[in-house]
Amino acid sequence: MKKQLLHPDYVIVGCGVSGLYCALNLPKDSDILMLSKDAFDHSDSFLAQGGICVLWNEDDFDDYFEDTMKAGHYENNRESVKIMINSSKELINDLVTYGVDFHKDENGEFVFTKEGGHSKKRILFHEDITGEEITSHLLEAAKQRENITMMEYTTMYDLMVANGRCIGIKAHSKKDELYDINAKYTILATGGIGGLYRHSTNFPILTGDSINLAKRYGIETEHLDYVQIHPTTLFSTKPGRRFLISESVRGEGAILLNKDGERFCNELLPRDIVTKAIKEQMKDDHMEYVMLDMSPIPKETILNHFPHIYEYCLENGYDVTKQPIPVVPAQHYFMGGIKVNTNSHTSMPGLYAVGETACNGVHGKNRLASNSLLESMVFAKRAALDIIAKEGKQ
């Protein structure tokens, strides 16, 4: 089969928030090619429920920093954490210009919620589909840019390397079309590894493609064993992706119960601690799940803040306003990945990695809730700015 040769300035592999935001921050007069392994809206960014953290009050910096470090067992890269936090307000303001609609009160002021591991409310949200709200607006903006070409159902299977430098990628389409894509810079934004697990909240297409190529080419990786399990997904015996019950549900007051209807842990501790408590309780109860009781949350709040969780559970036979639901931990997020610096550059010249496939050290050993969307976009923009700076020196 004849290969097609493509020559964009930049190729971005992945169409989640990190890939999209990177593309939108690259020069408008550059030629950008974006690839999606599946449909454009089948990135895990669309699945993020809870929200996105922001340092809206400067007095909160120390607490926010400590919450992130504590959740990460103090294995975080302190400089990366500072960059993320200090960039958050500017990022939120930018997202608003793209049309992202974060929840506001009757006075038009942002409403903040709280999740596990946070010492105070600092999370912005849009109902219980914050990821979809953000990603859909960024996707629409990218589609409208004349300099951005987007290809669905196209999978990267190899890097193109010359004299130790990445000069692009090799890809194939769903129709078995082959592409050699030569680019000045390559940005990997291929997401996590959930597709390798039996129980995961991730789309099954996320199989660590970039990680595998990094290992093949000797590109530095870091903390490949740092995998986060989310404490609460709706229990099911059906095959396929597990439905996430957002951390925000517990942040708003939901409690965890054992088989006797007794509360057994502090629901607002970091995810790894809550997950451990749930697994121990399941073992003690000889059960495959524990129960999550949302009755402490006012019904109006459930219907307004968590309408999609309410509807999905109802479709599966549970009315969360009237009864507890069975929940079980499942693989959720990958804190390790391709090692990058604070500008998202890998150890290979010409190659960047952003989003969940990259490891800049922000999350340490365990990610603090609602830091993922923020971290992905902050460091995606830094990749774009670093590329622009290098281009200016050439």
Domain limits, the chain: 3-225+335-393, 231-330
User: What are 302-338's pLDDT values in tens digits?
Assistant: 999 899 999 999 999 999 999 999 999 999 999 999 9
Give the Cα separation of 289 and 328 in Å (integer).
5
- Of 6, 13, 45, 10, the closest CA to residue 212 belongs to 13
Q: How confident is the model at residue 365 (pLDDT cuts 50, 70, 90)?
A: very high
Pick the catalytic residue: 241, 271, 367, 382?
A: 271
Q: How confident is the model at residue 237 (pLDDT cuts 50, 70, 90)?
A: confident
Helix (H, G, I), strand (E, B) or coil at 301: helix
Q: How confident is the model at residue 394 (pLDDT cuts 50, 70, 90)?
A: very low
- Relative orientation angle of helices 17-25 and 372-393, to the nearest 10 degrees: 30
Looking at the chain, the number of H-run helices and the number of E-run strands are 10, 18
Give the Cα separation of 209 and 327 in Å (integer).
30
pTM: 0.90
Give the Cα separation of 16 and 210 in Å (integer).
14
Which pLDDT score is estimated for 392?
78
Which pLDDT score is estimated for 1?
66
Please check whether the two domains, 3-225+335-393 and 231-330, share a CATH topology.
no
Give the Cα separation of 53 and 92 in Å (integer).
9
Which pLDDT score is estimated for 362?
97
- Of 53, 32, 24, 354, the closest CA to residue 191 belongs to 354
Give the Cα separation of 76 and 65 in Å (integer).
10
Asked if the model's pLDDT at residue 393 lies above 80, the reply is: no
Hey, what are 59's tokens? Answer: 């007095």
* CATH number 3.90.700.10 given to 231-330: yes
Hey, what are 75's tokens? Answer: 């294995």
Q: Strands 358-359, 255-257: parallel, antiparallel or unpaired by DSSP?
A: unpaired
- Domain 3-225+335-393: top CATH class: alpha beta
User: What are 39-71's pLDDT values in tens digits?
Assistant: 998 888 888 888 999 999 999 999 999 999 999
The predicted model gives 285-295 an average pLDDT of: 96
The better pLDDT of the pair 233, 392 is held by 233
Q: Is 296 left (phi over 0), alpha (psi -120 to 50) or beta?
A: alpha
Give the Cα separation of 138 and 230 in Å (integer).
26
Rg (CA), the chain: 21
CB contact at 8 A, 117 and 63: no
- Say whether 263 is catalytic: no
